[in-house]
């Protein structure tokens, strides 16, 4: 052990010099002035600020993403558990359930407070999540439509001078049927009565009614009526809505039962088109 602690004079000088160097270096380290403020350019400062703002934005987004999601709900269907999580007392929840059991509905925040008697502070914490049905929050106003007044005979347009454009103003009449009506009017040399519109193929009865709400036969064609008691088969068969077979049945009925005393007797003839009787009688008379 003695050999480890016995130094020569030159060794002691070396150790002393080494210790002196170590002390000097430590002293310089602690007392040497350190430059803390580093000068940076304006561009660098702006870049650092933008970078910091970006970091702050990412932090805020992360915070928002980690927040528990809140969903809207109809307060009429709050369960015991839901009411508990909202901070409601059991008495407040029971009041709501009793109100609903009576077949009544909460339709506003004010109704909810009145029924449950929750405090304003508690209500403010979750009332923004209430979602009521659309017919409660956005009720639709029902417009009252007054039924249009029926036109008088004087206010209606003469059906015998109506143009295709006039007829097309009626619901259910387009270019095709307006032309069909005019063609039929020309074929019979003018309407004698509005019911003759029913003889136009394809024009439905409800459309005829719509036409007669706006149009009327003001200049009716004068029809020279055929005497039902003297008419021949050929005379009758040429009339609208009658054919040869029906005409023959009419003559046979007259021969069997005698002269007609009432034009309605035609309805008792077999196969007579009673649905067209109102138009057929326009051409017939009794003498």
Q: Domains in the chain, please, with CATH?
A: 51-145 (no CATH), 157-216 (1.10.150.280), 226-285 (1.10.150.310)
DSSP state of 241: T
What is the per-residue pLDDT for 132? 85
What is the per-residue pLDDT for 145? 59
Q: Do the beta carbons of residue 230 and residue 287 sit within 8 Å?
A: yes
What is the per-residue pLDDT for 2? 56
pTM, two decimal places: 0.48
Helix (H) or strand (E) holding 247: helix 244-257
Other C-beta atoms lying within 10 Å of the C-beta of residue 239: 17
What is the per-residue pLDDT for 71? 83
Task: For residues 230 and 242, give the distance between their C-alpha atoms in angstroms, rounded to a whole number.
Answer: 17
Q: Mapping DSSP to helix (H, G, I), strand (E, B) and coil, where does residue 78 land?
A: coil
- pLDDT tens digits for 202-231? 999 999 999 999 999 999 999 899 999 999
- Which region holds residue 266: left if phi is over 0, alpha if psi is between -120 and 50, else beta? alpha
What is the per-residue pLDDT for 34? 60
Helix (H) or strand (E) holding 285: strand 284-285
What is the per-residue pLDDT for 33? 66
Stretches in the chain below the pLDDT threshold 70 = 1-6, 33-38, 67-68, 136-137, 141-147
Task: For residues 287 and 279, give the distance between their C-alpha atoms in angstroms, rounded to a whole number.
Answer: 19
Residue 26's contacts (CB-CB under 8 Å, 6 or more residues apart) are none
């Amino acid at each position: 052990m003695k050999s480890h602690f016995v130094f020569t004079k030159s060794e002691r000088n070396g150790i002393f010099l080494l210790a002196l160097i170590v002390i000097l270096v430590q002293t310089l380290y602690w007392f040497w002035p350190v430059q803390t403020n580093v000068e940076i350019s304006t561009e660098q400062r702006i870049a650092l600020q933008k970078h910091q703002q970006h970091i702050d934005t990412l932090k805020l987004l992360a915070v928002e993403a980690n927040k528990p999601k809140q969903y809207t709900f109809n307060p009429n269907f709050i369960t015991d558990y839901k009411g508990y999580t909202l901070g409601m007392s059991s008495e407040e929840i029971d009041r709501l359930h009793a109100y609903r059991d009576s077949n009544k509905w909460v339709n506003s925040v004010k109704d909810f407070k009145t029924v449950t008697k929750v405090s304003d502070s508690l209500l403010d914490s979750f009332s923004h999540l209430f979602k009521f049905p659309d017919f409660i929050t956005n009720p639709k106003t029902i417009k009252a439509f007054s039924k249009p007044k029926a036109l008088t005979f004087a206010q209606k347009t003469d059906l015998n001078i109506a143009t295709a454009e006039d007829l097309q103003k009626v619901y259910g009449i387009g270019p095709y049927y307006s032309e069909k009506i005019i063609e039929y009017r020309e074929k019979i040399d003018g309407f004698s009565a509005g019911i003759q519109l029913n003889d136009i193929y394809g024009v439905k009865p409800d459309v005829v009614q719509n036409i007669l709400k706006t149009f009327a036969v003001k200049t009716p064609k004068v029809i020279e009526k055929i005497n039902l008691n003297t008419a021949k088969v050929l005379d009758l068969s040429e009339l609208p809505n009658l054919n040869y077979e029906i005409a023959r049945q009419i003559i046979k009925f007259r021969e069997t039962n005698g002269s007609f005393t009432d034009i309605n007797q035609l309805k008792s003839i077999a196969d007579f088109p009673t649905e067209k009787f109102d138009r057929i009688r326009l051409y017939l008379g009794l003498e």
